[in-house]
């Protein structure tokens, strides 16, 4: 600890003063703090301010900022530097691409580290003992709601606290958990001793937020989809009846869902360990088939006939899923749809790719093309109306299903130059479209194009929900509804930062509409309960270090920090 500077802490005034940011920063300097703050209200500013002061107080200590993905890590380096100007000579980005020798040298010579938790965990576990445990003074954890189970965040904190307890933890999240039980797990895993919670209408936050106009468009299935759905439910019914007869589930074919079946199957397996069911093998088989078939039903209702038909193709071979050949009614239904949409109903969408110079070739403006669900036409109409009224604005379209991202991208390409779309998906296996995975380097480039205006519509899976800075977005369209309130809040948090934002929810009538109602009712419930929950108070960490010697009571010095220009 540097006694020469220890009687003060610096609060940057090169950004406009916001009282809630000041209050949270002050608390986070002296307690292990979980900051729960809506997207766009300055969690990075708070983190950078705390990092700067710990860096200043401990001239030989190290500060670690962890984020779950490399694009997020890359983004935070510049964002934090822009707040406090910590020397880039003292800063390192730790990635798996660096050699062990190079990483060992960085841990020895640098003081501020930006890394994924997996990179830090790897060095902690290195037999060469390259990680400097005793020098750690602050660990910042972005997207802290991930700190559950054996996720790398948890393992890093456990490893460090086993060697030293004299370090601060600062955890950041817009939504730390779906339930209070989720939040208590995060608190335990990250050694949290204090919580700072704000929501958009908190007294000290409301003046900095803008209203989000949320509009729900309920889409009828229409005659064709309704006929296919009803035929499909009749096909599923015998499998469901066998499970009902075995008392393995309750309900009926129309009330069940993939999620409820997964939970019922889990209960059956647990009970079967205690008392073996004589027909356990066939019941487990029926569960597996039903879970797959209800997954297909959800795709049919939410994403349409092309996604539904594609589900039955085995992505690991040219064959269809194993249970199709055993059910003649299902086989007949699939053949009927193949006659209309082809053996590979999504092939056309994967063919739309950029040329080496980055230009996407023209696509046919075929208004008669059947995308397989009424949502597509509604999406196209509303985006056209939006950009005709606000040509300089930006929009994001979210879909859980990467093949729907490909279809939406293809749909919007035929509306250029009014709509200039790009897409980002994760690095997983391509789906039926053959839509190539987007590397993290490409994700960063796409985000840059979106912020600069080269692209005005970003179509994305969940990879764009968390943290990544996309700048100001005027319109968010949710092509489907996520059941997790945390992810829902992250989606709609992309708009309404600097002006009134619009959110368009496209839902199919029936179950998807009911899911939306449940999510809207519960999205702020957990956050509001945090500050007054006895359950939370009981699990707060009691060993949070002071970090500052007892003879010091640092006073705040508000300082305008001039950020040196990048060399």
Is residue 379 assigned to a domain? Answer: yes
333/363 same-domain check: no
- Residue 163 gets which letter from DSSP? T
226/320 same-domain check: yes
Is residue 228 assigned to a domain? Answer: yes
Tell which of 341, 366, 395 closes a domain.
341
If one counts the domains in the chain, the total is: 3
378/457 same-domain check: yes
pTM of this prediction?
Answer: 0.80
User: What is the DSSP annotation of 295-355?
Assistant: HHHHHHHHH-HHHHHHHTB-TTSSSBPTTTTT-HHHHHHHHHHHHHH-SSTTHHHHT----
- Residue 182 gets which letter from DSSP? H
If you count them, how many residues does the chain have? 567
Closest CA to 248 of 301, 285, 212, 222: 285
**What is the C-alpha to C-alpha distance for residues 524 and 503, in angstroms, rounded to an integer?**
17
186/47 same-domain check: yes
DSSP helix/strand/coil, 515: helix
**What is the C-alpha to C-alpha distance for residues 467 and 487, in angstroms, rounded to an integer?**
11
Is residue 413 assigned to a domain? Answer: yes
164/19 same-domain check: yes
Tell which of 284, 313, 341 closes a domain.
341
**For residues 98 and 113, is the Cβ–Cβ distance under 8 A?**
no
Q: What is the pLDDT of residue 357?
A: 42
User: What is the DSSP annotation of 215-271?
Assistant: EEEEEP-HHHHHHHHHHHHHHHHHHHHHHHHTTS--S-TTT--HHHHHHHHHHHHHH
Radius of gyration of the chain, Cα coordinates, nearest whole angstrom = 26
Domain that holds residue 391: 209-220+358-524
54/90 same-domain check: yes
Distances (CA, A) of 542 to 23, 30, 158, 527: 21, 13, 16, 22
**What is the C-alpha to C-alpha distance for residues 463 and 71, in angstroms, rounded to an integer?**
10
**What is the C-alpha to C-alpha distance for residues 195 and 35, in angstroms, rounded to an integer?**
6
- Domain of 431, CATH number, reads 3.40.50.300
- How many alpha carbons fall within 13 Å on the CB side of residue 365? 6
32/155 same-domain check: yes
Whole-angstrom distance between the N-terminal and C-terminal Cα of the chain? 30
Is residue 351 assigned to a domain? Answer: no
DSSP helix/strand/coil, 279: coil
410/462 same-domain check: yes
172/231 same-domain check: no
**Mean pLDDT in consecutive groups of 10 residues from the start of the chain, 567 residues:** 96 95 98 92 95 97 94 88 92 87 95 96 94 98 95 98 97 89 96 93 85 91 95 96 94 91 95 90 94 95 94 65 85 93 76 49 65 95 97 94 90 93 76 64 85 92 70 90 82 77 93 89 76 87 93 96 75
451/368 same-domain check: yes
64/77 same-domain check: yes
226/215 same-domain check: no
- Domain of 278, CATH number, reads 1.20.1320.20
């Amino acid at each position: 600890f540097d006694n020469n500077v220890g009687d003060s802490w610096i609060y940057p005034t090169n950004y406009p003063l916001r009282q809630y940011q000041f209050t949270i920063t002050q608390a986070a300097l002296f307690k292990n703090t979980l900051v729960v703050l809506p997207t766009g209200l300055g969690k990075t500013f708070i983190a950078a301010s705390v990092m700067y002061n710990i860096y200043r107080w401990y001239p030989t200590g190290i500060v670690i900022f962890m984020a779950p993905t490399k694009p997020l890590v890359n983004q935070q380096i510049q964002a934090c530097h822009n707040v406090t100007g910590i020397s880039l000579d003292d800063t390192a980005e730790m990635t798996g691409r660096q050699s062990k020798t190079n990483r060992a040298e960085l841990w020895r010579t640098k003081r501020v580290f930006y890394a994924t938790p997996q990179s830090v965990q790897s060095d902690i576990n290195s037999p060469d003992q390259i990680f400097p445990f005793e020098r750690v003074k602050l660990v910042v954890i972005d997207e802290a709601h991930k700190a559950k189970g054996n996720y790398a965040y948890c393992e890093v904190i456990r490893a460090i606290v086993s060697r030293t307890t004299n370090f601060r933890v600062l955890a950041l999240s817009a939504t730390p958990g779906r339930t209070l039980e989720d939040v208590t797990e995060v608190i335990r895993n990250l050694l949290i001793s204090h919580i700072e919670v704000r929501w958009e209408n908190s007294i000290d936050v409301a003046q900095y937020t803008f209203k989000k106009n949320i509009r729900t468009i309920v889409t009828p299935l229409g005659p064709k989809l309704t006929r296919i759905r009803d035929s499909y439910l009749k096909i599923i019914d015998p499998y469901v009846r066998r499970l009902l007869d075995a008392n393995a589930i309750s309900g009926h074919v129309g009330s069940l869902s993939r999620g409820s079946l997964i939970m019922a199957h889990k209960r059956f397996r647990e009970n079967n360990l205690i008392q073996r069911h004589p027909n356990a093998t066939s019941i487990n088989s029926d569960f597996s088939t039903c879970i797959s078939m209800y997954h297909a039903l959800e795709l049919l209702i939410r994403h349409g006939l092309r996604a539904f038909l594609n589900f039955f193709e085995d992505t690991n071979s040219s064959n269809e899923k194993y249970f199709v050949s055993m059910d003649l009614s299902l086989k007949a239904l699939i053949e009927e749809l193949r006659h209309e949409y082809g053996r590979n109903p999504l092939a056309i969408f994967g063919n739309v790719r950029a040329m080496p110079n980055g230009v996407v070739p023209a696509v046919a403006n075929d208004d008669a093309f059947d995308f397989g669900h009424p949502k597509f036409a509604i999406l196209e109409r509303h985006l056209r109306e939006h950009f005709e009224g606000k040509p300089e604005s930006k929009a994001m379209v979210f879909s859980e299903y990467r093949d729907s991202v490909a279809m939406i991208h293809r749909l919007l390409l035929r509306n250029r130059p009014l709509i200039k779309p790009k897409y980002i998906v994760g690095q997983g296996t391509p789906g039926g479209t053959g839509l190539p995975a987007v590397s993290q380097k490409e994700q960063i480039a796409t985000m840059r194009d979106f912020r600069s205006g080269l692209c005005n519509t970003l179509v994305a899976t969940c990879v764009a929900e968390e943290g990544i800075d996309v700048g100001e977005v005027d319109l968010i369209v949710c092509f489907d509804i996520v059941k997790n309130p945390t992810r829902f809040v992250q989606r709609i948090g992309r708009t309404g930062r600097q002006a009134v934002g619009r959110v368009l929810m496209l839902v199919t009538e029936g179950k998807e509409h009911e899911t939306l109602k449940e999510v809207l009712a519960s999205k702020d419930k957990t956050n509001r309960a945090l500050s007054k929950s006895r359950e939370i108070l009981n699990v707060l960490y009691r060993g949070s270090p002071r970090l500052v010697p007892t003879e010091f009571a640092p006073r705040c010095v508000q300082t305008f920090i001039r950020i040196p220009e990048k060399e």
